[in-house]
Structure 1
Amino acid sequence: MALKYVKKRLYIFLIKRFGLYADVTWQASSEYEKEEILSIFSKDSISGKPPIPIRVAPNLPPKGGDITVARNRPKQAGSARIIFLSRIARKKNLDVALGLLKKVNGEVQFDIYGPIEDKPYWQECDALIHELPTNIQVRYMGEADPEQVVNIFSHYHLFLFPTRGENFGHVILEALKGGCLIMTSDQTPWRNLIEKMAGWDISLSAPDQFYASLTYLLSMDDCVFEQWSKSAQDCANKFSQDPHLVAASRELFSTADV
């Protein structure tokens, strides 16, 4: 909502005013997204109607079940291979990721994958890249083949993704399946990652927590990292095999008017 704020608020005002969302059943990918929808479309409803109907039905993962990825990334204490894989757009916060790496001690290879959708924004990021110290090496790798994304993640230790918001975040699931740890914002449904030894979800207003977590990642040796990496894959497989995912989607469509 912070991006293009005026345009979005005007649009929301008009669809409320003319009741364009009446009789719509909303799908939320998580309880967090449900609360966000309610905060915008219910609490200040012009019509004064009861809260809008929302069904929580998480996005379904691709078919395939358990994914085992070959070990492609030995980990040495004091160094790390870090990846950013997403659209190059302001919402995804690549500039924030680069700013976080600027003060990191240790040897880092940071590879960026994704289509450049916002060229002026990419120019800003490119300027930040040239300001990084020599211990942070950055490469732009172009767009990733969708069929190879999980395999690409298997070559990295961390997916650094301080996004401003994701309603689900399929790319996070793909990183976990590749055994790559996650460091993202708390603006996605992927929460409590540290408790699952799968990564970190951190408030964008707490850069010190990002630095501390990056420092810990860099300190990991191969033995510790592999424990976390296996936990990341376990987290992905547990989600993908959850029978409630399909049941929630079936309930969503069975209750919607046709």
Structure 2
Amino acid sequence: MNSSAYWRRCQDEIATFRFLRIEVRGALPYSDIDAAYAAAHFFVLPSMSESFGYSIVESWQHARPVLISQGTPWRGLVDKRVGCDLRLDVELWTSLLKQCLAMDNAIWGELCRASHELYAALLQESDASTQEKLRELLRRTLGGEAAS
């Protein structure tokens, strides 16, 4: 949003959506993040490139499915029922957003539950990986087997 010409183009485009409320939030203070996710149905990130995508994981932490581009390392989201990863194509994104608007609350609730479950699994995986790295460090430091 650093370019004022680009931002004006965005505002002009946003103004064409008469029946949707589109909010461009920019950077949020940390204290407002929980409320922002609680007020949202999806986290939308049509990014050209993300390395890990911490904001994507943060969305799952808040039990919100994600709509992301394939410019992230996250794939197979539909099968996991935690969102959708699409190539950057206007027709695909338009179709996806229409599906989301027509989605009933029961299906959305299932996506939210699956999103939070994936976050919990990622935490466990991370904890196990961290524990193994610590064990290996102890083995090398002590010159033998570390106790489990």
Deviation of 1:178 (Å) = 1.3
Aligned to 1:120: 5
Question: Which residue of 135, 152, 157 maps to 2:19?
Answer: 135
Segments of structure 1 that go 5 or more residues without pairing to the other structure are: 1-87, 89-116, 252-258
* CA-atom RMSD in angstroms: 2.3
CA distance in 2, matches of 1:127, 1:158: 23
Q: Deviations over 1:113-163 (max 9, x none)?
A: xxxx33332222122222x13112333445311243244212211112100
CA distance in 2, matches of 1:172, 1:207: 21
Question: Which residue of 168, 172, 181 maps to 2:52?
Answer: 168
Question: Which residue of 87, 102, 105 maps to 1:219?
Answer: 102
**Residue identity opposite 1:124 in structure 2:** R
Aligned to 2:63: 179
Query: How many aligned residue pairs are there?
Result: 134
TM-score normalised by length of structure 1: 0.46
Contact 1:150 1:177 survives alignment (8 Å): no
* Structure 1 residues 201 and 174, CA gap change in structure 2 (3 angstroms): same
Aligned identity (percent) is: 22
User: Larger RCO: Structure 1 or Structure 2 (Cα < 8 Å, ≥ 6 residues apart)?
Assistant: 1
Flag the structure with higher strand content. Answer: 1
TM-score normalised by length of structure 2: 0.77
* Structure 1 residues 123 and 207, CA gap change in structure 2 (3 angstroms): closer
Deviation of 1:234 (Å) = 0.9
| Matches for 1:53-72 after TM superposition, within 5 Å | none
Segments of structure 2 that go 5 or more residues without pairing to the other structure are: 137-148
* Structure 1 residues 140 and 166, CA gap change in structure 2 (3 angstroms): closer
Flag the structure with higher helix content. Answer: 2
Deviation of 1:229 (Å) = 0.6
* Structure 1 residues 166 and 248, CA gap change in structure 2 (3 angstroms): farther
